[in-house]
């Protein structure tokens, strides 16, 4: 008997019961999963206040500084939770960590990300009081 024949016999004999059992178990697990409506991650959004960022506010673009591990999905979710406005576009700029030296010791200044959030034309937020 060849390996292919032996394999097909094992599938014929055992396969149907195993496969049907797995399908019912997967269906039960799918029904048990529930999606939480609460916020899963708190993401700090720090306003990045520079001349360039202030000039972009006229175009409804706001610049924030976020942790290096933040994703655009997390940024959108956090922005909607805080300000109640869904952004049109989110651009992320990653600033790399920089080497800093103190004598013989070489350390690193932590990297971060800047996020440019574009809002609809009729929406405005006030990040820095004028």
pTM: 0.63
- What's the CA gap between 9 and 7, in Å, rounded? 5
Question: Is residue 47 a contact partner of residue 63, using CB atoms and an 8 Å limit?
Answer: yes
CATH superfamily of 46-118: RRM (RNA recognition motif) domain (3.30.70.330)
- Print pLDDT tens along the chain (130 aa): 665 555 454 555 555 555 555 555 656 665 665 555 565 667 888 999 999 999 999 999 999 999 988 999 999 999 999 999 999 999 999 988 899 999 989 999 888 899 999 999 999 998 766 6
- What's the CA gap between 90 and 78, in Å, rounded? 12
Domain ranges of the chain: 46-118
Q: In the numeric block, which tokens belong to residue 120?
A: 């609809």
- What's the CA gap between 13 and 9, in Å, rounded? 6
């Amino acid at each position: 008997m060849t390996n292919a024949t032996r394999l097909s016999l094992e599938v014929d004999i055992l396969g149907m019961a195993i496969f049907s059992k797995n399908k019912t178990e997967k269906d039960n697990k799918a029904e048990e999963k529930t999606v939480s409506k609460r916020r899963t991650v708190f993401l700090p959004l720090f306003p990045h206040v520079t001349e360039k960022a202030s000039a972009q506010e006229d175009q409804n673009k706001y610049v924030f500084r976020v942790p290096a591990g933040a994703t655009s999905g997390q940024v959108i979710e956090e922005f909607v939770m805080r300000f109640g406005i869904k952004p049109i576009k989110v651009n992320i700029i990653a600033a790399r960590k920089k080497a800093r030296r103190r004598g013989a010791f070489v350390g690193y200044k932590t990297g971060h990300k800047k996020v440019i959030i574009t809002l609809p034309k009729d929406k405005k937020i006030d990040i820095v009081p004028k």
